[in-house]
Structure 1
């Protein structure tokens, strides 16, 4: 800020020339993405939310982004470079960025970091995630009602609690409405690889699945379902509306923009603190896309009722009685899973077959 300069003219006259202050430097906010910002799903939706944040703040925020960042050492290099370039706040938007985020945060204590879907914090590191399993429960209800073959396919990325929760939630609610249903899980060890995702979807359909769920980022499974015909699927992380009304019959939409706006505002206001956030349908962080006319009206009504009950807190997708895969009791009648158990979930529920990879 430039100072005011006072010029004295004569004995009785003083003229103060006020020179306008320069605008404060914009807050520099960084985002790194594991996939392409045009992946049609996870990374694209984070990018679009970042753009909404930028639109909200205008010139008071400078946005810097890096897409297609591999998890691991490459992420650490990118985060180091962003920090050196003057970033004030960095959002790291994939589970595998967790340790790189913590490592870089130690070296740059004046930079604030926000890590998506992880569980570790530090003095300058927050974490945030969404209760995706709430949306998976609704998908499971629809899948169990709509399958003709009683075979549901699930394309899974990595065996972390977030993904396991989704598998369990969808299976529980599919089996509730259709006790004959089988769920086959294919693990592909990647978040975004359209070729692998397509191969997994093809294999599941060839095994008789007529419903495909995914916890991967591209639209490839929906494209395979569309080509196969008589197979339905769901948008993942983004609406993927281009595949509606079928095979995409609804979608789980991650609504990150309000969180990004709030956390940037906290930095601007000087009130930012490291914290953990885990919100769902009730808070609006998880949203369900339009349920299309391909879904029978009665099933759509049941799905909307479940959305409302989850949002109001009157229903929790993990409510007993529920057993673990080995038949041991997990939750008694009416008992609700606690967040600590859900946060570390490493087991299948009863009825699911196969093993969780190491």
Structure 2
């Protein structure tokens, strides 16, 4: 893997963001006081961040809160969790609330506010929420905490880890198959284990197809800054990359836009992102977070909660590639067959994608 040196100076300003794990727009609800307001309003049945046009005050279901690091309409990582929250409201009769753009400094306070306001289940969507869940969980033993992509477990804390490296591997194979320059680009936000494994999987898959391929990489330091991701992708494109991948949450939209503007290919992440850049996106890694969240909450309702770390992948139907959409005619039949064959091997257990969480750059 080759880190794009040209990005070093331009992205140095993001170093301070690494400690916080996400950038926070000034006008978003991230402060503890605002999170408390959200929880209190929801508890009182007043105006809250519940889904518009739905009744979120069912007396029969659990009170479930969601915390995400970005916006719930990002057509990516955060929206996948929000879709899950809407699913537990609709199918399980739960009362719901959520807080967007939760930075690392606010995670403990936001969790505490929801627990103190009587929420039965608090979900943290991202590896960063693991330690806050353990800390607050000790103070509120009757509240269940669910963490996605963390490794936290306790009597009232459970984590679900998705094998995102599997779809990362397939995307890398596809990208290498479609590249004419022999150069790819991949952009991530911060070097958390759940993100590093995707980037490494992407590189490993690409090198299965072309051992000599060059994978340029960059960590922008932000989950939400689309301009930074676009800057990074543009630098890679100028350096010869003709396929761009990402695992950068909301900020990844900038990378996709850069690819489409340059007339090259890209792969999406977390959600079927085809509509964001239909002239560029070959496919997307899709994580079935809605069903995962519904199952986790249903288990709590049914008294089957286990304070463990569960790892789920393609074999369980939790991660998969999105359809090729309009790109199906662009991708050669033999390439599609290659990807399908490898996907089936992963599902059956015939091939195991290495889960490498050690940064290579």
For the superposition of Structure 1 and Structure 2, which TM-score range results when normalised by the shorter chain?
A: 0.7 to 0.9
Q: What residue in structure 2 maps to residue 346 of structure 1?
A: 358
Aligned twin of 1:50? 85
Secondary structure at the counterpart of residue 272 of structure 1: coil
Task: Kindly indicate whether the alpha-carbon contact (under 8 Å) linking 1:188 and 1:196 is maintained by their aligned counterparts in 2.
Answer: yes
Is this contact kept in 2: 1:160–1:346, CA < 8 A?
no
Contact 2:89–2:95 (Cα < 8 Å) also in 1: yes
Structure 2 CA distance, aligned partners of 1:124 and 1:144?
43
1:122 alignment partner, SS class: coil
Matched position secondary structure for 1:54: helix
Give the aligned CA root-mean-square deviation in angstroms: 1.6
8 Å contact kept, 2:260–2:277: no
Does 1:35 pair with 2:35? no
Structure 2 residue aligned with 1:133: 165
Cα contact 1:126–1:274 (8 A) shared by 2: yes
Q: Deviations over 1:12-40 (max 9, x none)?
A: xxxxxxxxxxx964310111111001112
Answer 1 or 2: which has greater helix percent.
Answer: 2
Superposed displacement of residue 141, structure 1: 0.8
Aligned mates of 1:163, 1:283 — CA distance in 2: 20
Mapped to 2, the partners of 1:248 and 1:24 lie a distance apart of 43
> Secondary structure at 2:158's aligned position in 1?
strand
The TM-score normalised by the length of structure 1 is 0.80
* Cα gap change, 1:101 to 1:267, in 2 (>3 Å): same
Quick one: distance in 2 between partners of 1:157 and 1:68?
14
The alignment partner of 2:295 has SS state of helix
| Unaligned 5+ runs, structure 2 | 1-57
1:67: how far off? 1.0
The answer to whether the 8 Å contact 1:234/1:250 transfers is: yes
Distance 1:221 1:244, change over 3 A: closer
The answer to whether structure 1 residue 307 and structure 2 residue 343 are counterparts is yes
Give the Cα–Cα distance (whole angstroms) in 2 for the partners of residues 67 and 140 of structure 1. 31
Q: TM-score, normalised by structure 2?
A: 0.79
Aligned mate of 1:225, from 253, 259, 276: 259
- Paired with 2:59 and 2:335, the residues of 1 have a C-alpha distance of 54
1:74-133 alpha-carbon deviations (Å, 9 max, x no partner): 111111111111100111001112222211111111100011111121111111121000
Separation in 1 of the partners of 2:106 and 2:345? 42
Is 2:271–2:287's contact at 8 Å kept on the other side of the alignment?
Answer: yes
RCO higher in structure (CA 8 A, sep ≥6): 2
1:271 aligns with 2:307: no
1:257 matched to 2:293: no
Q: Which residue of 2 aligns with 1:173?
A: 205
What's 1:113 paired with? 145
- SS at 2:103's partner residue? coil
Partner residue of 1:213?
245
Distance 1:44 1:163 in 2: 17
Aligned counterpart for 1:235 among listed residues 265, 268, 280: 268
